[in-house]
Amino acid sequence: MTKISLVKCDDYSKADNAVREAVNLIGGVSVFVRPSERILIKPNLLSPKDPSKAVTTHPEIVRAVIRLVKEVGAVPLVGDSPGGAIRDIKNLWKVTLMEKICVEENVKLVNFEAAGSKEFDIGDKNIKKVNFSNAVLDCDGIVNLPKLKTHMLMSFSAGVKNLYGCVPGLMKVEYHKYASKNKEFADFLSKIYLFFKDKIRFTLVDGILSMEGNGPSAGDIRKTNLIAASSDAAILDAYLLNELNYNISDSDLLKNLKITKDIFNKIELAGEPSKNFNFKNFRFPNLRKLDLLPRFIVRILGKLLWMKVDINKKMCVKCMLCIRACPIGAIRHKSNAHPYVYAKKCISCFCCHEMCPSKAVGFKKSILAKIFIKDS
């Protein structure tokens, strides 16, 4: 049986008690962490956003876990590698308040890029060698602290997806070039997860503020008031998705990890019943609906059914992060003009959508796509 705990928490000022309860309900921190071990606490630090935006794991969740790890005599470290286009790590630490809490708790923040990396063959058919940061490789164990969010390419981002941050810097962008489609990226992510699985001591999901709609950075904030924990990140993801009314058999990521609905018979739940959380009508990205249309419909309608990435000039602040985020150079710009997407080259990886700080990257839809895919 896999234990999953669900704890209700309506405000980050109460995170310390809620996190403690969630970890106690799956056995307590001493079951997962031993004295003197170097434990990497890995939040989701996608981009330099204030914690109230629900893009990154909230610092009070990180603080609570730091304290738990210290209580058993282990040495906590905190770190994550942000989206590939983000270069100023010090600014990211400052804006996400990671620097503040790490100073206050006297804990080292590790820079995944500066730590160097090593190459591995993880058995992916598209990407022969994958680099992982030494900051992750050198620790004794990982406490995985994802944010509960939707994701344009994968539909959702939680425990398994959070491990993609173990790939340092621009390499994340590079790998998207070879794994740009949902199935390929799901395959790649599942292999990364399996590579680190034994090192993950437990996963604790920050779902006090979650993100629905077109995440992982441009979606809408949803107050789900949830802290969830488990020793198994993939099973926890599957459970939460199911409770959010997402059909887990539509997830290539979970399929790769051989997680089906049968797994729900092997879960031992503790804490609050899931009906007590604000999960009803949680919205997933609308683009994935196109992927899920029956193949015969897609075949018949062919080229009349499309969605294309598009930049909204009114919202664009010309930061040019999307250009750095695009793995194949499909975004161009002339002198001081707004960037634009060269549609023929675009491979629909949505890295630009993920990195845009001002929600200026959206989608154009064909008339038929508008009929089949209503905005979520």
Residues that bind ligand SF4 (CB under 6 A): 309, 311, 316-322, 325-326, 328, 330-331, 339, 341, 346-352, 355-356, 358, 360-361
Query: Which among 171, 169, 202, 205 is positioned nearest to 188, based on CA atoms?
Result: 171
CA–CA–CA angle 212, 208, 62 (5° rounding): 115
Q: How far apart are CA 112 and CA 132, in angstroms?
A: 9
Closest contact distance (angstroms) between CB of 332 and ligand SF4 is 10
Give, for 243, the enclosing helix (H) or strand (E). helix 233-243
- Determine the residue type at 364: K
Residue pair 204/19 in contact (Cβ under 8 Å)? The answer is: yes
The sign of the dihedral angle between the CA atoms of 162, 163, 166, 168 is negative
Strand 38-43 and strand 331-332: the pairing is unpaired
Closest contact distance (angstroms) between CB of 87 and ligand SF4 is 14
Of 267 and 319, nearer to ligand SF4 (C-beta) is 319
Closest contact distance (angstroms) between CB of 108 and ligand SF4 is 31
Q: How far apart are CA 304 and CA 342, in angstroms?
A: 19
Of 305 and 341, nearer to ligand SF4 (C-beta) is 341
DSSP tally for the chain: helices H, then strands E: 15, 16
Closest contact distance (angstroms) between CB of 239 and ligand SF4 is 31
Closest contact distance (angstroms) between CB of 370 and ligand SF4 is 20
**Residue 51 burial class via C-beta count within 10 angstroms: exposed 0-12, middle 13-18, buried 19 and up:** buried
Closest contact distance (angstroms) between CB of 83 and ligand SF4 is 11
